[in-house]
Chains A and B, each alone.
Chain A
């Protein structure tokens, strides 16, 4: 079972499709690990209280606040961050819709909104305006206002349903 007694462990995880194996301290948050160890700085950190959502990433498809999640807990799991969304130079439909709908200004909140929107559309490919608002309720934007964000998510949903994007 367990390897108690140590202050860290070697984690093996799949991060955005790449197998990663690193020694990480138990006290490291997933946000620290992604940013400082893997250089994936798309994931932001702000409140560190699971309130603002800028650190949202997916672990085995489930949304987590990486600011309050142990990096050692990704061992054996699959992690998705904003860096994994685009396919080369082709933006993910959500990213494309955010650009077209002006759903960002400074962009600090955007990676979190995108990852939560990915999680939402996987469980509900045709969300109503109310569904989007409810699911993204734990993400805060200080620039744009939320209307363009909701519109972008619904635009992306429509396009993804049409072209069978997953």
Chain B
């Protein structure tokens, strides 16, 4: 049962920025927020519906970046030909999030802002070296995924800031995304990608610990699955103990690296 609250429906970004704050939370799909409100973990007095702001759902190329509006749904990302061409791995991951209703309503912005530790998007966007663009009525700033995600359900976003877009450098890194999942969300997710810029070999491990972790190197030979798995702090839950999840991580790291070295690519 939801508590009582008012709802504002801005039609322009500026209006939304004036409305948002500690007690006045934005929502798009509500696929995370309404669950938290039903459990009374969050009890905002006002909700700001972002669905009336078309500029937040644009996908475009800007210089050497793919810019995805915060209000773009998983399904829109997965089926967008531009994203598929420029960042196939992201298409593939978004096509496998949750279920078809969650993909139809849930957005990239809502996913990142809620900072649920088992987010698939946080893991893949970390591997792809994406940046998030935050805006408030007093200005804008850009953060890396590492700077943005501070802990479970905790980000660097200030209450009066909106996430407006996610920027993926293109040509985007390519690779594989493996997850071990037998409930609604993954227990462990590992992605191994090769990138043109910076360190060519990038490995991100998500869902298993408080925040996703990134490992980079010049060559895949430098990665040791056992020590990488030993270095993470898995969160035990109904899907497995610390020992079990470390084991899963080691196995997935080996598999992901073997697959990417064999030339396999998702998306």
Chain A residues in the interface with B (C-beta under 8 A) = 1-7, 9, 25-27, 29, 48-51, 53, 56, 62-65, 68-70, 72-73, 116, 119-120, 135-139
Check B9–A53 contact: CB distance below 8 A: no
Q: Mark B55-73, 1 if CB is under 8 A from A, else 0.
A: 0000000000000000000
User: B46 to A70, Cβ gap below 8 A?
Assistant: no
Q: Name 16 A/B residue pairs within 8 A (Cβ), A-sorted.
A: A2-B15, A4-B6, A4-B7, A5-B6, A7-B4, A7-B5, A9-B7, A27-B4, A48-B38, A50-B99, A62-B104, A63-B101, A69-B105, A72-B7, A135-B100, A138-B100
10 closest Cβ contacts across the A-B interface? A138-B99, A2-B8, A27-B2, A4-B8, A2-B9, A62-B104, A68-B34, A63-B101, A65-B101, A26-B7
Q: Residues on B close to A: CB < 8 A?
A: 1-12, 15, 19, 30-31, 34-35, 38, 46-47, 49, 51-52, 98-102, 104-105, 184
The CA of A70 and the CA of B3, in the complex, are separated in Å by 12
CB proximity of A52 to chain B, nearest CB, Å: 10
Is A68 a contact partner of B35 (Cβ separation < 8 A)?
Answer: yes
Indicate if the CB atoms of A1 and B8 lie closer than 8 Å: yes
Q: Is the interface of B mostly helix, strand, loop or mixed?
A: mixed
Q: Which of B3, B11, B46, B49 contacts A27 (CB under 8 A)?
A: B3
A73 to chain B, nearest CB (A): 7
Instruction: Point out the residues of chain B lying under 8 angstroms from A65, CB to CB.
Output: 31, 101-102, 105
Chain B residue at minimum C-beta to C-beta distance from A134: B100
CB-CB nearest in chain B for A68: B34
State A45–B5 Cα separation when bound (angstroms).
23
With a CB–CB cut-off of 8 A, which chain A residues contact B10? 1-2
In this complex, what residue of B is CB-closest to A75?
B9
Cα A7 to Cα B38 in complex, Å, equals: 17
Number of A-B contacts (CB under 8 A): 93
User: Cα distance A2–B35 when bound, in Å?
Assistant: 24
Contacting pair A49 B105 (CB below 8 A): no
Considering the chains assembled together, what is the distance between the CA atoms of A3 and B185 in angstroms? 36
Q: Are A50 and B9 in contact (CB under 8 A)?
A: no
Tell me if A1 and B4 are in contact (CB < 8 A): no
Determine whether the beta carbon of B30 is less than 8 Å from that of A4: no
Q: Which residue on chain B has the smallest CB distance to residue A120?
A: B100
Cβ–Cβ contact A50 & B101, under 8 A: yes
Given the interface pairs A2-B15, A69-B30, the reply to whether A50 lies near B102 with Cβ below 8 Å is: yes
Chain B residue nearest in CB terms to A2? B8
Q: Are A70 and B9 in contact (CB-based, < 8 A)?
A: no
Complex Cα distance, B98 from A157, in Å, reads 25
Contact of A138 among B3, B19, B47, B98 (CB under 8 A): B98
Of the candidates A3, A5, A9, A53, the one whose C-beta lies within 8 Å of that of B101 is A53
Contacts of B49 in A (CB 8 A): 73
**Is A3 within 8 A of B9, CB to CB?**
yes
User: If the complex has contacts A29-B2, A138-B100, are A64 and B46 also in contact, measured as CB distance less than 8 A?
Assistant: no
On whether the beta carbons of A64 and B6 are closer than 8 Å, the reply is: no
Minimal beta-carbon separation of B75 from chain A (angstroms): 8
- Nearest Cβ on chain B to A138's Cβ, whole angstroms: 2
CA distance A29 to B9 in the complex (A): 17
Min Cβ gap A66→B in Å is 10
Instruction: Report B-chain residues with C-beta under 8 Å of the C-beta of A48.
Output: 38
The answer to whether B100 and A51 have CB atoms under 8 Å apart is: no
User: A26-B2, A27-B2 given. 6 additional CB < 8 A pairs?
Assistant: A1-B11, A50-B102, A63-B101, A68-B31, A116-B100, A119-B104
Q: In the complex, A136 Cα to B132 Cα: how many Å?
A: 32
**CB proximity of B76 to chain A, nearest CB, Å:** 10
Q: Which of A4, A48, A51 has the most CB of B within 10 A?
A: A4
User: Which residue of chain B lies nearest to A69 when distances are taken between CB atoms in the complex?
Assistant: B30
Interchain CB contact (< 8 A) of A50 among B1, B35, B52: B35
